[in-house]
Amino acid sequence: MTTVLDTRALNRATLARQFLLDRTTAPALDVITHLCGMQAQEPQEPFTGLWSRTRAFRPAHLDTLLTRRTAVRTHLMRRTVHLMAAADALAWRARHDSMLRQRVVTTYRAELAGLDLEEVAAAGRAVLADGRPRTMAELVQALDGRWPGPPRRVLGELLVAALVPMVQLPPRGLWRAKAGVRNLPLATWLGREPDPLPADGSDPVGRTLVRRYLAAYGPAASADLRAWCGLTGLPAAVKAVRDELVAFRDERGRELLDLPDAPRPDPDTPAPVRFLPAFDNAILGYHDRTRVIDDAHRGLSVAGERVVLVDGRVSATWSMDHGTLVVTPLRTLSPAERADVTEEGRALAAFLTDDDTDTDTGTGTGTGGRVRLERHG
């Protein structure tokens, strides 16, 4: 009989693979790579995501990755901006091309009707060939009104989010930088073109994505994989690696696939309080998100709310208010839970405000930052 994994078992597996059960000592680039990238349309949010997962993380670690071009900010999974290892961005971009185009064209079907996408892409590449970074508005302006029909923003989004693989250049995404988006082709920034799709029609990237996704998010259903990346055509990739995988069932009867040796901790393993940034993929990376967040609170995961995990589940939201970290519970917290939330909150507030934090553990050693923990209801 196929083993059934209940919600708590899936929760602990997710926390372990996301480095949210125990912080990792791995370098920031290895963490980003393991996670298959981090959603990053809000430029400062990955700093909190890495702090919550990595011992001794410092903002300069991520700044260095971006300025040295070993990590990039680019549109990829689900047509959202992700912080990616440069190697993964180059290897995976071509596999995402058709999805990125389809999503833009579907969103703006009327505005883009009759447009020759290849012609627009060639014109955009010609403008960008001079190697000068441009904002989206500057790129559209340089096209000199060749396509007056679509709104300028729609044409710009088509170019930067779909037709031409782009990087959002630093200082965008650097610690505390308040910089607008300047775009440059991925190939220009990294010195080579993204890997092309195989001429034989095989899908090695799809197979890699299945394995990598399960390593960071499994056990998971095929619907979860599709919800995470937004790609079509993955059933064939799943079938190709099926012999490498093991199968379980969840409490709803869905088949869940996994890597044989991936961590699946005891469901009773204690889970520490963790603060997650807006749009963290530990929540967004599934079709069925109940392993981490109740259906009643699912809207928080797409509304940009930062959340707090207590006993592994979304139990509060948090924000910064003039240097004070404010926690708003979604349920009544026990005295012990309130104490743990306050302790971890002080450590995060200290990180965000440059107060004293322990350089080895990433947690507070003194008074830390200021926290205001509200009462539920």
Amino acid 368: pLDDT: 81
Helices (H) and strands (E) in the chain, counts: 14, 13
Bridging pattern class, strands 4-5 and 38-39: unpaired
- Taking alpha carbons only, the member of 267, 279, 268, 270 closest to residue 336 is 270
Please report how many Cα atoms fall inside a 13 Å half-sphere around the Cα of residue 354, on the Cβ side. Answer: 3
Rounded Cα–Cα distance for residues 191 and 324 (Å): 43
Q: What is the pLDDT of residue 62?
A: 98
Q: Is residue 286 a contact partner of residue 274, using CB atoms and an 8 Å limit? A: no
3-state secondary structure of 50: helix
CB 218 within 8 A of CB 256: yes
Q: Note down pLDDT in tens along the chain; length 377 residues.
A: 789 999 999 999 999 999 999 999 999 999 999 999 999 999 999 999 999 999 999 999 999 999 999 999 999 999 999 999 999 999 999 999 999 999 999 999 999 999 999 999 999 999 999 999 999 999 999 998 899 999 999 999 999 999 999 999 999 999 999 999 999 999 999 999 999 999 999 999 999 999 999 999 999 999 999 999 999 999 999 999 999 999 999 999 999 999 999 999 999 999 999 999 999 999 999 999 999 999 999 999 889 999 999 999 999 999 999 999 999 999 999 999 999 999 999 999 999 998 655 534 444 444 589 999 999 97
Rama region for 351: left / alpha / beta (φ>0; ψ in -120 to 50; rest): alpha
Structure tokens at 3: 């083993």
Please give the sequence-ordered ranges of beta strands (E in DSSP) within the chain, or none if there are none. Answer: 4-5, 38-39, 71-75, 81-85, 166-168, 183-185, 246-250, 255-258, 274-276, 306-310, 313-321, 324-329, 370-373
pTM over the 0.75 mark: yes
The pLDDT score that the predictor gives to residue 253 is: 95
Amino acid at the residue 231: L
- Counting every residue written for the chain, the total comes to 377
> Residue 123: CB partners within 8 Å, gap ≥ 6?
143, 146
Q: Could you tell me what percentage of the chain is helix, strand and coil, using 3-state DSSP and rounding each to the nearest 5?
A: 40, 15, 40
Condensed to tens digits (0 to 9), the pLDDT of residues 201-255 reads 999 999 999 999 999 999 999 999 999 999 999 999 999 999 999 999 999 999 9
pLDDT of residue 377: 76
Q: How confident is the model at residue 302, as a pLDDT?
A: 86
